[in-house]
Structure 1
Amino acid sequence: MAASREDAPGGGRYGEAVFRPEQAGEGERIDFGALAYDDITMARMRALGVGPGWRCLDVGAGTGTISRRLLDEAGVDGVLAVDRDVRFLAERPGLDVLEADITSPDAIRGPFRLVHARFVLMHLPEHERVITSLAELVAPGGVLVLSDAVDPTSERTPATPYTRVMRAMWEGLRATIGTDVSWVPSYPQLLRGAGLVSVAAEIHVPPLVPGSPISRFWADTWERSRAAMLATGLVEDGDVEAAVRYLDSDECAALSAGMLTAWGWKSEEEPRR
């Protein structure tokens, strides 16, 4: 996952203060998220026409699941997979790997027919500038696809072990590494502001089913962010354990955080529809 050079409110950064890639099981945690969301991402890519002849950029590529599927399933010509830590990525025919910080000027050279970033910008305080930079990497007639988390809970959501811990997680991550999902619904307007056209968006919320990839993802995420969550004072250790048990029980009746995906095209002579 690409991270920022700028300090978060608590002075930390993704991959350092929390979610360290060298921590045992971090690659598996990322893959649980991929199992929950990759099919949705690929369905959107196919609907947008991504395929042969396309050169693609996958920002914050993680373990490379989307990069590989773009090659194997969509049949694109090539993918550049970029992350600030590339230990989970391996080059192969058609797949190039670049270790880079996307917040650095000129970190990546374009253009690309597809520029894709998923669960990256929510961790970056300078997200508007990065969106503009990513839009500049899109070739005429190409598309920028951005996905990030949205939290469907509110103050009227019934209190459960899950909702208590999720609220503590978002607050703890915001204070520790600057994670902020409150602005994610603004994606369509931000893409328009970056000069893109035919902008649209959708939201997918995976079901919380005991033993499902998304349930295992959240349990692992809470474990890795436990210190940040406890520091908020909103939960104690026992609350985290209760939430893990709740996720794996038939009593679980909650909405997972969803994934908002927005896309916009760079104009050719005529806007893409």
Structure 2
Amino acid sequence: MSGAGRGDAPGGGRYGEAVFRPEQAGEGERIDFGALAYDGFTVARLRALGVGPGWRCLDVGAGTGTVSRQLLEEAGVAGVLAVDRDGRFLSARPVPGLEVLEADITAPDAVRGRFRLVHARFVLMHLPERERVIGVLADLVEPGGVLVLSDAVDLTGDRTPSTPYGAAMRAMWQGLRATIGTDVSWVPSYPRLLRAAGLVSVAAEVLVPPLLPGSAISRFWADTWERSRAAMLATGLVDDAAVDEALRYLGSVECAALSAGMLTVWGWKPGDGEGGG
């Protein structure tokens, strides 16, 4: 859940620079709150796909490396190349079999080789050349291997009841889009895009973690709002008082709302001699 490539917005901002700077105190903890909310689901899906001993894996935008380490320590994979534009959190927690590469996944030949698993979570939603990058990631999958992508789907809309939480989420998405180019509107098209990239047996699922007071996902959103507050205020949809009220609401038993979902999609690279179906 960290930047792995360029996220140039209309204003020229980038993930990890305009907002969510890795050197800012507490950024690693914010990423870890997201990991606590999503890792169990992610790793269970990867293991259900057969990821295990002998697999060489690529984890793009690896953040603090929680998924990479679980693949090594729990699934027993042969090795993980963890890629991020800023590898400080990855290098701070080394484990056997974990190789760290600081690279921009959107740059030519940023990663070389083929992998049985290529995984990226909360990365492409921040990048401008999303379809091209999906093709790049698909090319990094070895024949018979699998590409697994996860990104956010926004569940707030015009018919969503008006709450402080909903107002803050709408301001956050709009502010991040203007500041760093984040765009989750295209995420439901993932299955089609994986098929277009030549992958087969494509399928998808969505996780919506419950918003409970003090839960990892609630603390993640609270930290995310605080770190993107300036971008949220710039939209004109909220002011400081509204953000503060949303924070109080999110941490209370009165909160009755849907978190953003995480859509996970996977597709297999045909083996040698197989067609695309």
TM-score tier after normalising by the smaller chain length:
over 0.9
TM-score by length of 2: 0.96
Give ranges in structure 2 of 5+ residues lacking alignment.
none
Aligned twin of 2:257:
254
What is the DSSP-based 3-state SS (H/G/I as helix, E as strand, rest coil) of the residue aligned with 1:174?
helix
% identical aligned pairs: 81
Aligned partner of 1:79 in structure 2 is: 80
- Please provide the CA RMSD for this pair: 1.4
SS in 2 for 1:140: strand
Partner of 2:119: 116
Residues in 2 aligned to 1:6 and 1:63: alpha-carbon distance in whole angstroms: 19
Measured in 1, the distance between the counterparts of 2:169 and 2:56 equals 37
Unaligned runs of 5+ in 1: none
Cα shift at 1:2: 2.7
1:96 to 95, 99, 105: 99
Q: Answer yes or no: is 1:44 the counterpart of 2:45.
A: yes
Which of 215, 219, 228 in structure 1 is aligned with 2:218? 215
Secondary structure at 1:142's aligned position in 2? strand
**Cα distance 1:208–1:271, how it changes in 2: closer, same or farther (>3 A)?**
farther
Structure 1, residues 8-47: CA drift from partner, whole Å, max 9, x if none? 1121000000000000000000000000000000110011
* Mapping of residues 1-273 of structure 1, within 5 Å: 1-5=2-6, 7-90=8-91, 91-268=94-271, 269=273
Q: Secondary structure at the match of 1:89?
A: helix
Shift of 1:196: 0.3
**One-letter amino acid matched to 1:119:** F
| One-letter code aligned to 1:13 | R
Does the CA contact (< 8 Å) of 2:7 and 2:180 recur in 1? no
Deviation of the 1:270 alpha carbon:
5.0
Normalising to structure 1: TM-score of the pair?
Answer: 0.98
Give 1:56 deviation, angstroms.
0.1
- Which amino acid is the alignment partner of residue 27 of structure 2? E
- 8 Å Cα contact 1:80/1:95 also seen in 2: yes
- How far the C-alpha of 1:4 sits from its partner, in A, is 3.5
The separation in 1 between residues aligned to 2:256 and 2:22, in whole angstroms, is: 32
Deviation by residue 1:169-224 (Cα, 9 ceiling, x = unmatched): 00000000000000000000000000000000000000000000000000000000
Q: Is the partner of 1:157 in helix, strand or coil?
A: coil
Q: Tell me whether 89-98 or 4-13 shows the greater mean CA deviation.
A: 4-13
Distance in 2 between the 1:35 and 1:125 partners?
A: 27
What amino acid is aligned across from residue 112 of structure 2 in structure 1? Answer: R
SS of 2:22's equivalent in the other structure is: coil
Q: Give the secondary-structure state (helix, strand or coil) at the position aligned to 1:260.
A: strand
| Secondary structure in 2 matching 1:238 | helix
- Give the 3-state SS of the residue equivalent to 1:234 in structure 2: coil
Q: Equivalents in 2 of 1:5, 1:144: separation in Å?
A: 21
Shift of 1:6: 5.8
Contact 2:4–2:103 (Cα < 8 Å) also in 1: no
- For residues 5 and 69 of structure 1, what CA distance do their matches in structure 2 show? 27
Please list the CA deviations of residues 102-143 of structure 1 after superposition, one character each: whole Å capped at 9, or x if unmatched.
000100012000000000000001000000000000000000
Amino acid paired to 2:130:
H
**1:214-251 deviations in whole A, cap 9, x for unaligned?**
00000000000000000000000011110111011111
Tell me, what secondary structure is at the counterpart of 1:96? strand
- The answer to whether the Cα contact below 8 Å between 1:2 and 1:102 also exists between their aligned partners in 2 is no
Q: CA deviation at 1:92?
A: 2.8
Letter in 2 for 1:132: G
